[in-house]
Amino acid sequence: MAINDPSADTTSAVLTAGGFGGVAAAINFVNEAVQAGMNEKAMEQAKQAAKGLGDAATAGQIRITPEGFDILMKTLDQCDDHLRDLQFNVHAVVQAPQLGSSPYAQTVAAHVQKGGAGPDQSAEMMVRQLGPVFDAIRDALNKAKQAYEDNEHANLRKLK
């Protein structure tokens, strides 16, 4: 798989050939996870896409031009910015809402808080899982860039 940047526009980065769907697929799965309310299935798909991208990069199946690398790293930096915003905003969700002092109000408040900060599919847990997905994509891009540079250096040596 090769990743080329035909222009400076981040939406026009072109991905070609096989793999697990590449960087676009990995970032798309993360985006879908967020838009789908960050459910467990969407998050698992994002993790698998990032892992597939990493595996393909490790196997040397992905090369990325320096220009494409820069564009995608800027995109990941923007994802990190949005993730920090999500982490800040999820803080409000992990607090039990003040619904009153009756037993019913306390039960409802505890239930709402569990959705925000529970151990499994809570908003807090889903947001925490996004960071490692972005890191895995970033690592794969670094490997792909290194593969591209190694290939370019090998081609130059052959020409000499």
Nearest to 5 by CA among 60, 65, 62: 65
Domain edges within the chain: 2-159
Distances (CA, A) of 110 to 8, 39, 116, 117, 140: 49, 20, 10, 10, 40
Q: Answer for the pair 67, 5: CB distance below 8 angstroms, yes or no.
A: yes
Per-residue pLDDT of the chain (160 residues; tens, 9 = 90+): 444 333 333 333 333 333 334 555 555 556 665 555 667 788 888 899 999 999 998 888 887 888 889 999 999 999 899 888 888 887 776 777 788 889 888 888 887 777 666 666 677 778 888 899 999 999 999 998 988 888 888 888 888 7
Task: Compute the distance between CA of residue 58 and CA of residue 40 in angstroms, rounded to an integer.
Answer: 27
Nearest to 84 by CA among 121, 131, 139, 119: 131
Q: Residue 35 belongs to what H/E stretch? A: helix 22-35
